[in-house]
Structure 1
Amino acid sequence: MKYFNKTILAVAITAASSQAMAAGFQLNSQSATGIGRAFAGDAVIADNASVLARNPAAMALFDDKALSVGMTYADVTAEINDASLSTRNPVTGQPMAVEYGSLDNAAEGKIIPNAFYIQPINDTFAFGLGAFSNYGTGTDTADLTAGRGLSPIDLIGKTEVTTVNFNASISARINEHWSVGAGVDVIYGEGVLTRGDKKVVDVEADGVGFGGIVGVTYELNANNRFGLSYRFSPDMKVEGTLKKLQIPGKPLADHDELTVPMADIAQFAGFHQLTEQFALSYTAQWTKWSNFTSVDLHGPDEVLKEYQWKDSWFLSVGGTYTLNDQWTLRAGYAYDQGVVDDIQSISIPDSDRQWVAIGATYHLSNKSAVDFGFAHVMGEETRITEKSLFGELSAVTNTGANYFSVQYSYNF
């Protein structure tokens, strides 16, 4: 029988934070071209096979087989300032405050790979495969309370959440204007948690979920087109092993499975080739984070941790400029709305963010290209408070990130 401390394991699996650098613990990192234009128009531009991550219907825009492989490095910073715990003296029972000071960087850099392949079957149908990530995080706040006699070990420590989305999709061209597509997602997720500077808690958990995506594209003409897609995300069933627990007086629960709700994603995109050299694109992406209300035990109606997030919007606009036969340049701006509502968390110091992005493509030949993307993401200073088993933790947080991405694309 596996045993879990309910509060701690809930944090272990879902303490995905803004270190993912999109609302909640969502990732926007599926391609170098997308990063270079702040993902403006990515559900319909279809300049390489990575469009499969956003809209399967856009595969109908390909006449040849297409392959894209790449990776993104997310250089994340997370500052925690003025951290303190409001608690009671364990001897006298009188109110007291424990000051922890500041931590310059609680985030961990991440390498996020991706791969996509699109195969036209005939003039009507196309098939595609993709491997990428929509959710993930990495934080380590252990140094904030290292060496302190009293600390909220249920909230402070190392957390890492990784997901991989394997997608298989098909598209169909209805006529010269309309195309539709649909796909199946198999999502593998795992989480690792340690709490306390002596690893008083050490947890590993993983699970598999199944979702899907549907999409449509409308081509007004050769220079103007629109795309719309909706991704259905599953409620993940997560199993784990609690390797170590040394918290006297805290009860254990004889459950070995948690239900973690994931967020659906809808997006609308437009692309307009305004001149021979310049194109304008834009995206409005809505994420149903209101589905992420709590983490529950599988079976009994027992809530482990309340979140009560709100839906969020990611709005971006970008431009693409064809400099010559070898070089294509791009840039973009995005506004990313935070998801935290009334319930705050130091493990989720979420806030609104702004993206400023640039990118370029170097065409090696008429069939192959190397893409580069860079985005600077700026969060907002946020004061948070969160209930602990040992009192109430408060702090001021500020997050940011630099995305560096490279990608190779080939048309067969």
Structure 2
Amino acid sequence: MRTLKTWVMACCLVLLAAQASFAAGFGIYEWSARGNALGGATVGRADDPSALATNPAGITQLDGMQVLGGFTAIHPVLDVKADGKWYSSDKDSLWIPPHFFATWKVNDRYSIGLGTFSRFGLGSVFDEDWGGRYNSYEAIIESMSINPNVAVKVTDKLSAAFGVEAMYLDFSKKQKFSLAKFSAYPDGDLKLEADGWGYGFNMALHYQPCQYAKLGLSYRSPVTMKVTGDADFTTPSWIRAYPGVPDVAFTDTSASGTVTLPDSFAFGVAMYPTEKFSVEVGAVYTLWSKYDELKINYGDPVLPSATPTQSIQAKNWDDVWRFNIGVEYAALDWLDLRAGYVFDQSPVQDETIDYMVPANDRHLLNGGLGFHWDNWMVDVNYTYLMIMDRDINGRDDGVRDGEIDNADAHMVGLSVGYKF
């Protein structure tokens, strides 16, 4: 009964606290402090409960019942040049995506597990009067996945897993729009808020050909999110009395949209040259090309120039790779030392980049410690994330000429686990 309570409480915490991140595209990979420290190179290892996020087939390696929970605190900062002036993102931003995993070895062949974690998130916050405000001055995407899995030992060396995923997504965006055509007041304000659920599945394989090597392969399906919410406009009360402005213009209305979040493949090869030392190299291939547009449907006409009830922004992102390497050394019976490196390609094309996702290729430098005694384990990590500088070309859809500079983030993770 106590274990069931723990699962329910952890799921509720994730539902309430899932937060956004600072990611290439808006994918999140911070699913455990150990995984963070190893640069996500845990697809081949897959030897702790966080394998439910990276390679669930590996949970057949875990005995009894095990739980692991924690969070990663992410503090991002970037400078953006727009309209010839430099602006900084909110320097007080702090995102805290949590994670929780539980596994149970039913018998020598079958294992089951439940993971709750965030796969997608975004946080981009600027002052409301900054140079890119007509595109966005605040964009936040929060997600949470509930992901049960069943894993089976096909042979002594090969395991397979299958899982289903229910993903909750909350989207909010604030932007300005120009009223200069009608009055001396230059800007109105639009706030979009919508949320909804989507569903997908995952499959995984784990193979240990010998004592010195492990191989992992994992696939997560695309998830089609259908979200509904509201569009709220803020304008001077007399604006609709202006000649040529319909009564329905700038009136609060319902909003909805559909977006396909991408599928991905993850690979990993872990080598164990000695009993105390291991190294894993891996890659994640994400099919971001499925994110071709952001379409928002309005319940009523919203603009004075015509009677549009739909807004479409082209995205046309690229499929990209994320490469990682992680090393782990058992320095003492109770202490593990870890380090990792990640190169993460950005999927955002020059033709469609905007200030909602002002990003570029990223480098991540990771380090961490693992403490374990009796049935307890505590992992901590620090990550420094650096985003490469990038120019933004202005377009007719509200994106002004700009430049991304000095973009980085500091991440601190903590995970606590227990073996029953």
TM, length-normalised to structure 2? 0.82
1:321 aligned onto 2:329: yes
Read off the aligned partner of 2:89 and give its amino acid letter: N
Read off the aligned partner of 2:107 and give its amino acid letter: N
Q: Secondary structure at the match of 2:278?
A: strand
Q: Give yes or no for contact 1:294–1:303 (8 Å, CA) kept in 2.
A: no
Q: Secondary structure at the match of 1:63?
A: coil
1:92 matched residue in structure 2: none
Correspondence 1:189-204 to 2 at 5 A: 189-196=169-176, 200-204=189-193
In structure 2, relative to structure 1, the CA distance for the partners of 1:231 and 1:327 (3 Å cut) is same
In structure 2, relative to structure 1, the CA distance for the partners of 1:255 and 1:244 (3 Å cut) is closer
1:182 matched residue in structure 2: 162
Correspondence 1:284-363 to 2 at 5 A: 284-296=283-295, 304-341=312-349, 342-363=351-372
Q: Secondary structure at the match of 1:185?
A: strand
Q: Secondary structure at the match of 1:200?
A: strand
Q: Give yes or no for contact 1:316–1:333 (8 Å, CA) kept in 2.
A: yes
In structure 2, relative to structure 1, the CA distance for the partners of 1:266 and 1:392 (3 Å cut) is closer
Alignment partner of 1:124 out of 96, 99, 109: 109
1:158 aligned onto 2:104: no
Q: Distance in 1 between matches of 2:132 and 2:336?
A: 51
Q: Give yes or no for contact 1:21–1:377 (8 Å, CA) kept in 2.
A: no
Q: Give yes or no for contact 2:294–2:313 (8 Å, CA) kept in 1.
A: yes
Unpaired runs of at least 5, structure 2: 1-19, 178-186, 240-244, 299-308
- TM-superposition CA deviations, 1:55-75 (whole Å, max 9, x none): 121111112211100110011
Q: Secondary structure at the match of 1:58?
A: helix
1:253 Cα offset (Å): 11
1:296 Cα offset (Å): 3.2
Q: Secondary structure at the match of 1:45?
A: coil
Correspondence 1:243-322 to 2 at 5 A: 243-246=232-235, 256-296=255-295, 304-322=312-330
Q: Give yes or no for contact 1:192–1:205 (8 Å, CA) kept in 2.
A: yes
Bigger RCO of structures 1 and 2 (CA < 8 A, at least 6 apart): 1
Q: Give yes or no for contact 2:46–2:55 (8 Å, CA) kept in 1.
A: no
Read off the aligned partner of 1:136 and give its amino acid letter: G
Q: Secondary structure at the match of 1:116?
A: strand
2:207 matched residue in structure 1: 218
- TM-superposition CA deviations, 1:303-334 (whole Å, max 9, x none): 71100000111101111000011100010111
Q: Secondary structure at the match of 1:33?
A: helix
Q: Distance in 2 between matches of 1:381 and 1:168?
A: 39
Q: Distance in 2 between matches of 1:386 and 1:74?
A: 30
Read off the aligned partner of 1:319 and give its amino acid letter: V
- TM-superposition CA deviations, 1:59-94 (whole Å, max 9, x none): 11112211100110011111112x11xxxxxxxxxx
1:393 aligned onto 2:400: yes
1:79 matched residue in structure 2: 79
Deviates more, 1:400-409 or 1:344-353: 344-353
Q: Give yes or no for contact 2:149–2:164 (8 Å, CA) kept in 1.
A: yes
Q: Give yes or no for contact 1:321–1:329 (8 Å, CA) kept in 2.
A: yes
Q: Give yes or no for contact 2:144–2:167 (8 Å, CA) kept in 1.
A: yes
1:409 aligned onto 2:417: yes
Read off the aligned partner of 2:171 and give its amino acid letter: G
Read off the aligned partner of 1:172 and give its amino acid letter: V
1:5 matched residue in structure 2: none
Q: Give yes or no for contact 2:340–2:366 (8 Å, CA) kept in 1.
A: yes
Q: Distance in 2 between matches of 1:214 and 1:239?
A: 30
Unpaired runs of at least 5, structure 1: 1-18, 85-98, 146-150
1:261 Cα offset (Å): 1.2
Correspondence 1:22-37 to 2 at 5 A: 22-37=23-38
Question: Paired residues, what number?
Answer: 370
Q: Give yes or no for contact 1:333–1:355 (8 Å, CA) kept in 2.
A: yes
CA RMSD in angstroms comes to 2.5
Q: Give yes or no for contact 2:227–2:257 (8 Å, CA) kept in 1.
A: yes
Q: Secondary structure at the match of 2:227?
A: strand
Percent same amino acid at aligned positions?
25
- TM-superposition CA deviations, 1:87-118 (whole Å, max 9, x none): xxxxxxxxxxxx4x112334622011100000
Q: Give yes or no for contact 2:132–2:355 (8 Å, CA) kept in 1.
A: no
Q: Distance in 2 between matches of 1:240 and 1:277?
A: 53
Read off the aligned partner of 1:155 and give its amino acid letter: N
Q: Distance in 1 between matches of 2:210 and 2:31?
A: 27
Q: Give yes or no for contact 1:261–1:295 (8 Å, CA) kept in 2.
A: no
Read off the aligned partner of 2:99 and give its amino acid letter: N
Q: Give yes or no for contact 2:377–2:416 (8 Å, CA) kept in 1.
A: yes
1:256 Cα offset (Å): 3.5
Q: Give yes or no for contact 2:297–2:311 (8 Å, CA) kept in 1.
A: no
Q: Give yes or no for contact 2:355–2:399 (8 Å, CA) kept in 1.
A: no
